[in-house]
Amino acid sequence: MVKTKAVMIGAGLANMAAAVYLIQEGHWRGDQITFYGADMHGANDGGPTTDFTSEYWNENHPMENTTGYVARGGRMLNYRTYVDLMDLLDRIPSATEPGMTAAEDTHDFDAHHRTYDKARLLQGGKGIIDGGKLGLNNKDRVLLSKLVMMPDDDETKLDNVSIAEYFKDDPHMFQTNFWYMWETTFAFRTQSAAQELRRYMHQMIYEFTQIEHLVGVNRTRYNQFESIMLPLIKYLKDQGVTFIDNRIVTDWDFADSELQDEITVTGIHVKNVDSGEEEVVAIDEDTAVIFTNGSITDSATMGDYDTPAPENMEYGISAALWKKATERFYNLGTPDKFFNDRKSSEWVSFTLTTKNHLLLNEITRITTQVPGNALNSFLSTTPITPLGHKDVNMSIVVHHQPHFTTQKPNESVIWGYFLYPRRTGEFVHKPYIKMTGKEMAQELIGQLSKVDPGPNNIKNKEAEIMDSIINNIPVYMPYASALFNNRAKTDRPEVIPEHSTNLAFTGEFAEQPYQMIFTEQSAVRSGEIAAYHFAGVSMDNLVDTPRYDKDPKTLLRATKKMFS
């Protein structure tokens, strides 16, 4: 149903994309669009720590040390599959490079700083592992091939099937270099959904042939906020879009209808985070409600150099609103599948800022590559999985410097994460989730010392490195991998649910044909669909999604790679 106004619940990438398409393809004015959000960036954040101290999710645990930088997560792009994202970025000016669109900015930077990871896997006692040798056996190959060859119509056969269950007769899979690289590139776990692994294998099949070097990975000039979100915010504000932040939408009013499954929003309950006051915003029949129904950074908390990030047991605020809608209507998915199983979804990340380049230079020496070329991972030599297998301890990303526009020339910023935060460190004997920023830095130095144990061991410089650290911010994210949680296809609502007159769902917890989640691509695509629907634009105008899983040459190269 065509509308003339829109209320956006959530101000992340998906809804900002929807706003751009409403303006440019629907020919709406900016003042027809209003955003309500707890913040104005969603999960694509990044900046000085002072930018985060007042945000609602950390209000009860303020940081003592507010120097340095923080990004709760990091984003890798891929031009070949992120076609909707690049279309969006080509519609708006760069926030940092005059005369360029945000897409041209990214293309220009990437052309001069191509990814070629020479140290994709690092293991204590062995140094750089040859990731080109995937280590697959015939059973691994057969099961992976079945995923790639499975038709889209058969995907429901994987409803509620975890990756571990899919490979239950093939535990060898989880000891291959292929799995280590896939796990750390995309943040899959063995308990994640096999459906999602299938979608990744379909849409990223060509990346399979070059995963050890990540040459298909593209990066933005700066952090994801300044290179992706800030251009969107500036463009939308220039168009007259209204942003009302520090607001949480807590409940719905729906119309009563003779058709009990008809979904019509008539009001939203909006809470002011600062004052606690709540108002009901009426939704008339000309207004669309576009709702991002889950966020991987909901309930996130931060620590600092001397303080661990505390656990926030709050059910995700966007998921809580989603859940209230599911209590009224039957076809809107199952939020608890994603937000009620923290053991399957939690991460701890850290952002480390130094006042000189000593640590950066040591990592460059150990990995034999310059900053910005790689995503490095560390493997443990200690059996720590329930099956007694080796597994990844931690991952780090060494960005091209500077990673923030306000970063000083002498400063370095390094990001890393622990995919299994309740495991115990090898050098700091406590769970990662309990570590301070200082202890995470010590654990990092210890892991690097295992990789390069010779006379120039980094341990010899530990005191000097620790003295160079301005801050190291641990971030606990209970729902960071929630979008991969084991599920059925119907556990996510469609972007435009059946019988909905004015409500759309966007983001990583909305179901879209073929799209893989945890990507800027799927987020933008959902916003594009919602905008076209409510603006009356034909879906034939959607950006064409490439299908590399249908390309014989790509499949042949992937088959050859399986036997490497």
N-terminal to C-terminal alpha carbon distance within the chain? 52
pLDDT at 449 over 80: yes
pLDDT at 551 over 80: no
Rounded to two decimals, the pTM is 0.94
pLDDT at 62 over 60: no
Distance CA 397, CA 74 (A): 8
Helix (H, G, I), strand (E, B) or coil at 84: helix
Percentage of the chain lying above the pLDDT 90 cut: 67
* Residue pLDDT, tens place only, 188-237: 999 999 999 999 888 887 777 777 777 777 889 999 999 999 999 999 99
pLDDT at 9 over 60: yes
How confident is residue 375, by pLDDT bands cut at 50, 70 and 90?
A: low
Q: What is the pLDDT of residue 170?
A: 95
| Catalytic option among 21, 166, 200, 222 | 200
Distance CA 153, CA 141 (A): 22
For 469-480, the three-class secondary structure string (H helix, E strand, C coil) is EEEEEEEEECCC
How confident is residue 383, by pLDDT bands cut at 50, 70 and 90?
A: very low
431: DSSP letter: B
Our CA angle for 7, 223, 470, nearest 5°, is: 120
CATH class of 121-215+347-477: alpha beta
Closest CA to 525 of 500, 546, 554: 546
| Mean pLDDT to the nearest integer, 238-250 | 96
What are the domain boundaries of the chain?
5-58+76-112+220-340+482-541, 121-215+347-477
User: What CATH topology corresponds to 5-58+76-112+220-340+482-541?
Assistant: FAD/NAD(P)-binding domain (3.50.50)
How confident is residue 561, by pLDDT bands cut at 50, 70 and 90?
A: confident
How confident is residue 65, by pLDDT bands cut at 50, 70 and 90?
A: low
Distance CA 286, CA 293 (A): 22
Q: How far is CA 267 from CA 38, 165, 282, in A?
A: 18, 43, 4
Virtual CA dihedral for 370, 373, 375, 379, nearest 10 degrees?
A: -50
* Residue pLDDT, tens place only, 144-178: 999 888 988 999 999 999 999 999 999 999 999 99
How confident is residue 363, by pLDDT bands cut at 50, 70 and 90?
A: very high
Q: Residue 127 — left, alpha, or beta (φ > 0 → left; ψ -120 to 50 → alpha)?
A: left
Q: What is the pLDDT of residue 558?
A: 74
Q: Are 404 and 223 in contact (CB under 8 A)?
A: yes
How confident is residue 466, by pLDDT bands cut at 50, 70 and 90?
A: very high
Annotated active-site residue 330? The verdict is: no
Distance CA 295, CA 300 (A): 10
Q: What is the pLDDT of residue 53?
A: 57
Instruction: Name the E strands within 388-539.
Output: 392-398, 412-418, 469-477, 503-506
Virtual CA dihedral for 151, 152, 157, 163, nearest 10 degrees?
A: 90
Distance CA 19, CA 240 (A): 11
Judge if the upstream peptide bond of residue 402 is cis by omega within 30 degrees of 0: yes
Q: Are 370 and 360 in contact (CB under 8 A)?
A: no
* Residue pLDDT, tens place only, 424-447: 999 999 999 999 999 999 999 999
